[in-house]
Amino acid sequence: MEFIDEELIYKILEDKSIKDKAYQRELLLKASEAKGLELKESAALLLAEDEEIIDEIFHLAKRVKEKIYGNRLVLFAPLYITNLCVNNCLYCAFRRDNKDLIRRSLTVEEIEEEARQLIMTGQKRILLVAGEHPKKASMEFLGEAIQRIYSININGNNIRRLNVNTAPLTIDEFKKLKSFGIGTYQCFQETYHFETYKIMHPNGPKSDFAWRIYAMDRALQAGIDDVGIGALFGLTDYKFETLALLMHAHYLDKTYGIGPHTISIPRLEPALNAPASQNPPNAVDDFSFKKIVAVLRLSVPYTGIILSTREKPELRRELFELGVSQISAGSRTAPGAYKESQESLDEHSMEQFQLGDHRSLEQVVYDIVSLGYMPSFCTACYRSHRTGDRFMELAKSGNIGKICEPNAIVTFEEYLNDFANDETKKLGKEFIQNELEKMPEKIRKKTEEMLKRIDEGERDVYL
């Protein structure tokens, strides 16, 4: 854990000079260039107390996000394949000692059925999630499941990018995982505070702090060039956690030339028989959570910030304004829940944590369009080899939008044609027309050509 310097983080947080309002205003000017911030600079904005400065931070975070990613929100859903786990994390319902959780591991056939259910709602991107278990989440089983999911095609609709959130692997295992054609490998440290980490992970393989924190190094060394990091906010002081998360991001960028493709910001939610979740040791209020999101966006403007359905719709809407660029929608956190929840399954007896947003994908799509955001189902970068350092170059320069905007519009058109009800379709078509009118003529004409192909029945059209 050499690159997580706890002493330095606390020294920065205790530095009274970073609370100077004149200094904080200088940082806002620097952040407006969308080139990122150093750790001390991020801390200064995180510690801002002046209402006017905080308001500027919030507004600037939206501008920076739109400078890099425009008004797009990328949509995805998690697919849980097992809730068996050999770890005993105090905040998770999947913990080994939870005797009241109904355990279930899906077969490959059941995983295929879950994927089909997601495809038939319009999803194109899945995050495959599994508890840590040597048999139920083995490399061989993951490979078979991923292959089966990618093989599904329903009238041109399919899963086009499959990201994976699993336990840390060896370099050889990561090479094998890469061979399955995955997108991003995702693994959260949960908490970067070493003593808190030991308390929260009393036993099981996950109790090894160093093995987990160097997972991204091994993944990158194995050739997986898109990685996603995250922290579970509520386990320790959010200011420490945010700076440690940024320290990890800076380390990866400096060491490999590839910063995190995504940063996830889950907040501790109640979970069955998980004591830390029932009484969070360092609960994060909504206002502080907003500051976290905004400061992350200003500090690492190139990264995708992921917001899950842990949060309620009202707060999600507010966080869209502060730099979030990817969201889950229509989520379930129990194995088999997409198919069986339609048959009145008591999902709470099997889920990892309680959700705050229970809306369907279409309800979320309608909502975000009403708010002025473009739903994007695009997965083109993954299949056009715009990953790793190539993606970073495009994102850091602000040029990724020239590709993403047409692709987002076309994938949204595909969704509207195949899955939307009349009300959503009407709203969406009007929104797309308005977006086209804002585009430069050359890009607009290219996008209109792609839209015509979609309307004539072609699928999966992208730049």
Cβ pair 248, 192 in contact under 8 A: yes
Tokens representing 234 are 């509520």
Scanning the structure block, which residue is given the tokens 């007896």?
349
Q: Are residues 62 and 73 in the same domain?
A: no
Q: What is the pLDDT of residue 344?
A: 47
Query: For the purposes of burial, counting CB atoms within 10 Å of the CB of 306, is it exposed (0-12), middle (13-18) or buried (19 or more)?
Result: buried
Cα distances from 373 to residues 160, 368, 380, 422, in angstroms, run: 22, 5, 19, 19
The beta-strand segments (E) located in 356-448 are 374-376
Q: What is the pLDDT of residue 352?
A: 82
Q: pLDDT tens digits for 224-275?
A: 999 999 999 999 999 999 999 999 999 999 999 999 999 999 999 999 999 9
Tokens representing 345 are 């399954």
State the Cα–Cα distance between residues 162 and 28, nearest whole angstrom.
37
Assigned domain for 373 exists: no
Percent with pLDDT over 90 in the chain:
88
Assigned domain for 394 exists: yes
User: In terms of residue numbers, what domain contains 396?
Assistant: 382-455
Last residue of a domain, one of 359, 374, 390: 359
Q: Are residues 168 and 47 in the same domain?
A: no
Q: How confident is the model at residue 345 (pLDDT cuts 50, 70, 90)?
A: very low
Assigned domain for 369 exists: no
Last residue of a domain, one of 66, 88, 109: 66
| Orientation of helix 286-299 relative to helix 313-320, angle to 10° | 30
Assigned domain for 345 exists: yes
Q: Are residues 220 and 290 in the same domain?
A: yes
CATH number of the domain to which 150 belongs: 3.20.20.70
Q: Are residues 262 and 338 in the same domain?
A: yes
Q: What is the pLDDT of residue 341?
A: 62
Q: Are residues 228 and 100 in the same domain?
A: yes
Q: Are residues 57 and 78 in the same domain?
A: no
Q: pLDDT tens digits for 146-204?
A: 999 999 999 999 999 999 999 999 999 999 999 999 999 999 999 999 999 999 999 99
Q: How confident is the model at residue 286 (pLDDT cuts 50, 70, 90)?
A: very high
Length of the chain in residues, anyone?
Answer: 463
Last residue of a domain, one of 45, 66, 87: 66
Q: What is the pLDDT of residue 222?
A: 98
Short-list 188, 125, 137, 147, CA closest to 335: 137
State the Cα–Cα distance between residues 361 and 287, nearest whole angstrom.
27
Cα distances from 273 to residues 98, 101, 400, in angstroms, run: 6, 8, 44
Short-list 236, 7, 197, CA closest to 90: 197
Mean pLDDT of 272-297: 96
Q: Are residues 189 and 221 in the same domain?
A: yes
Q: What is the pLDDT of residue 137?
A: 81
Q: Are residues 248 and 292 in the same domain?
A: yes
Q: Are residues 158 and 270 in the same domain?
A: yes
pLDDT tops 80 at residue 349: no
Q: What is the pLDDT of residue 97?
A: 95
Q: pLDDT tens digits for 18-57?
A: 999 999 999 999 999 999 999 999 999 999 999 999 999 9
Q: pLDDT tens digits for 442-463?
A: 999 999 999 999 999 999 999 9
pLDDT tops 70 at residue 347: no
pLDDT tops 50 at residue 14: yes
DSSP annotation of 79 reads E
> Which residue has better confidence, 207 or 387?
207
Query: For the purposes of burial, counting CB atoms within 10 Å of the CB of 202, is it exposed (0-12), middle (13-18) or buried (19 or more)?
Result: middle
State the Cα–Cα distance between residues 395 and 447, nearest whole angstrom.
21
Radius of gyration over alpha carbons of the chain, in Å? Answer: 21
Beta bridge partners of 34: none
Q: Are residues 409 and 288 in the same domain?
A: no
Q: What is the pLDDT of residue 348?
A: 56
DSSP annotation of 375 reads E
User: What letter represents residue 383's amino acid?
Assistant: R
Assigned domain for 366 exists: no
Cβ pair 200, 90 in contact under 8 A: yes
Query: For the purposes of burial, counting CB atoms within 10 Å of the CB of 347, is it exposed (0-12), middle (13-18) or buried (19 or more)?
Result: middle
**Averaged pLDDT score across all residues of the chain:** 95
Q: Are residues 345 and 407 in the same domain?
A: no
Tokens representing 109 are 């056939």
| Orientation of helix 238-256 relative to helix 286-299, angle to 10° | 20
Assigned domain for 423 exists: yes
Q: Are residues 264 and 315 in the same domain?
A: yes
Q: pLDDT tens digits for 414-423?
A: 999 999 999 9
* Global confidence as pTM: 0.95
State the Cα–Cα distance between residues 238 and 244, nearest whole angstrom.
10
State the Cα–Cα distance between residues 362 and 354, nearest whole angstrom.
21
Percent with pLDDT over 70 in the chain:
98
pLDDT tops 70 at residue 1: no
Spatial neighbors of 257 by CB under 8 A, at least 6 apart, are 389, 392
Assigned domain for 461 exists: no
Assigned domain for 365 exists: no
Q: What is the pLDDT of residue 382?
A: 84
Short-list 298, 256, 300, CA closest to 388: 256
Q: How many domains does the chain fold into?
A: 3
Q: pLDDT tens digits for 106-138?
A: 999 999 999 999 999 999 999 999 989 988 889
Sign of CA dihedral 209, 210, 216, 218: negative
Task: Report the DSSP pairing between strands 161-165 and 262-264.
Answer: unpaired
Q: pLDDT tens digits for 372-399?
A: 999 999 999 888 889 888 888 988 888 8
Cβ pair 281, 205 in contact under 8 A: no
Segment (H or E) for 179: helix 171-179
